[in-house]
Structure 1
């Protein structure tokens, strides 16, 4: 399986932790400007959200395949929230969804659904989702798959993603609200290349619906309440139905209700991003932080590096021209005690504990201004640094490919070094030792595989991967495609002592490289546990001009040990000290050199 992960440079710290639990308003908030009470509006939107995902992802009508679901979410939220009772809610939902799904039935609790009579044929259609649906069609795919009925069962041809197919009469039967239920077919008959079930009335309704959606303001932003509420609807459905990690998706209806309430109360775009991030945090998916990456301007990064050293937030590198030095202890940031602030912010972010800590620190460096109280050798002073002063700082300044001392090489894999590796294969094969620096993201995957080939004399297996195959909602209804990569040995073999440096900044393909190393004992891993965010990602549009990002593949080590949300454990731990930071010592490299010598 070809594994390529886009590069992400930094993520954003989200602010304003929302109160746990649903915060319904008091009855005295009833009916303002003709609208129902806030809690009723939220109940209506929750009902809309439940139906939205089912129809969008599992109902294979031609209309469902043709609608703009992002804009429809915004339009639909605005229509249902004004319903004052269950009767009006039912009418609003039918007006929205029956043009898209004419065979859908919305009915009252305690009654039985009565589906319209339709002409049957021998041809049917149903959705198949190979991984999560979205914008990436290289690793993942969704399609409406045709089948022919033979002896009462659907039989597919070559035009399919996988073998599993839902039963002909399969329906989704679920709760919408306190008084409403719905029944939705997931398999539709086809005739003359079109899905069966549409009527003259529904077809006209669909054209009207499309026209209304097309007439919506194309410049709507998250300042609009409906955009924010629709963003929660879209994100919750995407994660709850398709996040690959069992038990970690934001699929709980209570979480959905809380997020809707937060979106309703949000005042700014930053508030809205916070709400989405809180929903994504429930997945523990570090890749989700990249959903907010468009908020970053890389060149405006404050030119510092931060780390927790001996329990203190510490500057480990600073660019020239700034009155800060490596080893300075940061006691406060923008008026907050530094360590409690980092811990509080990290708790809001998706990902492993070590990744959250890194993101909480790194995100400070993307603020327009960072005011700090700094302790330098016992002397306290106030300082402020602004963005736009140089961006990233090379903490150690190592030449990416160098011979540190006779027979011992250092290779920084995030640098442009693979040409030099190829030019020096013979020398590297005879080296006493090689230190491969994998602290960070490495994205030339094919080159990494070639490198692994030189580290072994036998074929080696990499991490296990698994992609969910979905035709109907429900965790127990999915099947999985999976396997692992095998890399063949390449000559010459690097026979010296091999060390890989790793940290919480090692993620994506870097972790897949280190999984090969760990599983097959190709080298020692020195440093810290990695970020815990391997595997390909899927992207999906969220209302408000946001591109959602989620893990799409489940990755584990060869023995089944999880990597996602955990990381790869180092063999030898490096603990940084004030003395070494002040001296500019690379403790990781120093430890590795000691092992080789």
Structure 2
């Protein structure tokens, strides 16, 4: 006799509560291997099994509810049978075997399959979308997102040692456009278990929540991240260490670090984990790399640090080693990762004492500083090294424009001066922290570049992945761009653009036009090396992951991901200039216009 629904829910709740507290009855290696096999299967079924039942399932709840039994499988046979029982209610045509499997035969007639134009895991409409399309549908909600609408072949995949998966990627549909799903007591029990889960109470202290987050991130990137193959990321090798760490984590801060380290392996400059991290504080200083040393370049308020202090050790750890450890959690190209690690250098528990060993004018000192609420950010450190004007004539006929302080109205008022200038310096450092709340930011593609061209130019190609198969195979792309048309007045003088690694995303859209059409000379440091509309993964427990959802190229279709736009005139900071309060980036820009600087880098 089937138990009544309330009894099912009660038993499910009791079971879930017990599971969250119980240790694994298997070794850690066994548990990690089991969960890795679950994760791979989960990704294939969630994103590519096209049944109505699978499409309607709450996969976040599924990844929490169903992991305990898989984790506890004692051997390969038990794992295979547990995975089969776990996924059979939603993917009955999923095959699992220790021996090589033949791919299921293609279904005749009208079939449905997944098409992804990027990936949208939110309920909001955006630039990315997906749909289970039906062959032969020319219009309507199940018509193809892109062509050709050819059903993908079935797949066979190795998901673990001695374990292979086979699965159709297309299923037949009836005249009602529905797949022939068969109900079962197992499916009803699964639905009851998922209904009993309250995601608002999901906590990172529950190992299942942590594992679910790792699985969501890893599978999403495995099938949809546009840049993993560009720089040869061994993403498959990242899964088991992240699962192992998630199983060992105890707090939300631990879990945040696990997710952050996983995301950082993509080297995605948009990669970021938002969520509870604990009560953290910092030191109100700006730290800059100069002459292979970490140097205090600015300090805020009455703190015992001075410009030019060389940081030797932080809490007993050599400064370079402490920086490298922070870089493990800062996703991006090497230069962007370092930039962001420096932004919050010295961060730690709020109220804890930071022991900072420094050299001041060659003499060793130790500064003990109680960490306070950190005004510095991951993306930008607002503690400024210089007092930059919004607009200034820095030499006769050479004008300086600070994109962080001058707004679009102010720029328009200065156009006549800029048009007749012998040189214009555009500074895109600092993250625009100096603009007022209601100010309209300068958008270089609309407000500056039109005054540097005599004929229309285009933004670099932006490629949205068109996906029908897993594992980033067989992608095509929808390419888009937009024109920038000339405007008067034309800026007649030489234009120099100052960059640093904070210039990312839209900034690099502008840099592509500037560099590829030779509209300005670049000075400073490389830009971030990441572009493309961002995407998001909402995770249980209050965490959200940001990442890049499309591939953006240069105008010649070459890749700049991980590289950025390298300056024509790179600048290396010196300790003496920091002590003296000199802006070597601006000095170099002026020298370029005045003809006194030699380029050391081939043109972008």
Specify the TM-score bucket, using the shorter chain as the normaliser.
0.7 to 0.9
Aligned equivalents of 1:485 and 1:585: distance in 2?
39
Q: For residues 252 and 375 of structure 1, do their structure 2 counterparts lie closer, same or farther at Cα, with a shift above 3 Å needed?
A: closer
**Match in the other structure for 1:27:** none
Matches within 5 A, 1:133-532: 133-135=120-122, 137-148=125-136, 156-157=138-139, 159-167=143-151, 170-201=153-184, 204-218=185-199, 219-247=201-229, 248=231, 252-288=235-271, 290-292=272-274, 295=277, 302-347=283-328, 349-364=330-345, 366-367=347-348, 368=350, 369=352, 370-383=354-367, 384-388=369-373, 391=376, 392-441=382-431, 448-532=445-529
Q: Is the 8 A contact 1:132 1:243 kept in 2?
A: no
Looking at both structures, which has the greater relative contact order when contacts are Cα pairs under 8 Å and sequence separation is at least 6? 1
Q: For residues 177 and 553 of structure 1, do their structure 2 counterparts lie closer, same or farther at Cα, with a shift above 3 Å needed?
A: closer
* Aligned-CA RMSD value: 2.9
Q: Is the 8 A contact 1:441 1:510 kept in 2?
A: no
| Structure 1 residue 453: Cα displacement | 0.8
Q: Is the 8 A contact 2:308 2:575 kept in 1?
A: yes
Q: Deviations over 1:512-568 (max 9, x none)?
A: 212211111111111111121222111112343221121112222223342211111
Aligned equivalents of 1:428 and 1:459: distance in 2?
20
| Secondary structure of the structure 2 residue equivalent to 1:162 | coil
Aligned equivalents of 1:394 and 1:34: distance in 2?
51
| Structure 1 residue 239: Cα displacement | 1.0
Aligned equivalents of 1:296 and 1:226: distance in 2?
20
| Structure 1 residue 347: Cα displacement | 4.8
**Match in the other structure for 1:130:** 117
Q: For residues 549 and 186 of structure 1, do their structure 2 counterparts lie closer, same or farther at Cα, with a shift above 3 Å needed?
A: same
Q: Is the 8 A contact 2:516 2:555 kept in 1?
A: yes
Q: Deviations over 1:209-264 (max 9, x none)?
A: 22212212532222222222222221111111111025257664443223222222
> Which of 575, 578, 581 matches 1:578?
575
Using the TM superposition, name which of 135-144 and 526-535 deviates more.
135-144
Q: For residues 272 and 553 of structure 1, do their structure 2 counterparts lie closer, same or farther at Cα, with a shift above 3 Å needed?
A: same
| Secondary structure of the structure 2 residue equivalent to 1:129 | strand
Q: Deviations over 1:44-66 (max 9, x none)?
A: 21221111001111112222222
Q: For residues 93 and 250 of structure 1, do their structure 2 counterparts lie closer, same or farther at Cα, with a shift above 3 Å needed?
A: farther
| Secondary structure of the structure 2 residue equivalent to 1:463 | coil
**Match in the other structure for 2:15:** none
| Secondary structure of the structure 1 residue equivalent to 2:404 | coil
| Secondary structure of the structure 1 residue equivalent to 2:50 | coil
| Secondary structure of the structure 2 residue equivalent to 1:235 | helix
| Structure 1 residue 356: Cα displacement | 1.5
| Secondary structure of the structure 2 residue equivalent to 1:403 | strand
**Match in the other structure for 1:588:** 585
Aligned equivalents of 1:501 and 1:114: distance in 2?
57
Aligned equivalents of 1:34 and 1:466: distance in 2?
44
Unaligned runs of 5+ in 1: 1-31, 149-154
Q: For residues 388 and 41 of structure 1, do their structure 2 counterparts lie closer, same or farther at Cα, with a shift above 3 Å needed?
A: closer
Aligned equivalents of 1:556 and 1:387: distance in 2?
42
Q: Deviations over 1:143-165 (max 9, x none)?
A: 212222xxxxxx64463321133
Q: Is the 8 A contact 1:165 1:471 kept in 2?
A: no
| Secondary structure of the structure 1 residue equivalent to 2:132 | strand
Q: Is the 8 A contact 1:435 1:501 kept in 2?
A: yes
TM-score, normalization: structure 1?
0.85
| Secondary structure of the structure 1 residue equivalent to 2:257 | helix
Aligned equivalents of 1:551 and 1:111: distance in 2?
35
Q: Is the 8 A contact 2:116 2:130 kept in 1?
A: yes
Aligned equivalents of 1:129 and 1:37: distance in 2?
38
> Which of 83, 101, 105 matches 1:93?
83
Q: For residues 578 and 182 of structure 1, do their structure 2 counterparts lie closer, same or farther at Cα, with a shift above 3 Å needed?
A: closer
Q: Deviations over 1:558-590 (max 9, x none)?
A: 233422111110011112112221121111112
Q: For residues 171 and 441 of structure 1, do their structure 2 counterparts lie closer, same or farther at Cα, with a shift above 3 Å needed?
A: farther
Q: Deviations over 1:112-170 (max 9, x none)?
A: 6889x9xx88543211111234337422111212222xxxxxx64463321133437x3
| Structure 1 residue 281: Cα displacement | 3.0
Aligned equivalents of 1:413 and 1:296: distance in 2?
34
Q: How many residues align?
A: 552
Q: Is the 8 A contact 1:450 1:490 kept in 2?
A: no
Q: Is the 8 A contact 2:252 2:277 kept in 1?
A: no
Aligned equivalents of 2:246 and 2:375: distance in 1?
35
| Secondary structure of the structure 1 residue equivalent to 2:460 | strand
**Match in the other structure for 1:9:** none
| Structure 1 residue 179: Cα displacement | 4.6
| Structure 1 residue 423: Cα displacement | 2.4
Q: Is the 8 A contact 1:126 1:145 kept in 2?
A: yes
Q: Is the 8 A contact 1:62 1:194 kept in 2?
A: no
| Structure 1 residue 184: Cα displacement | 1.7
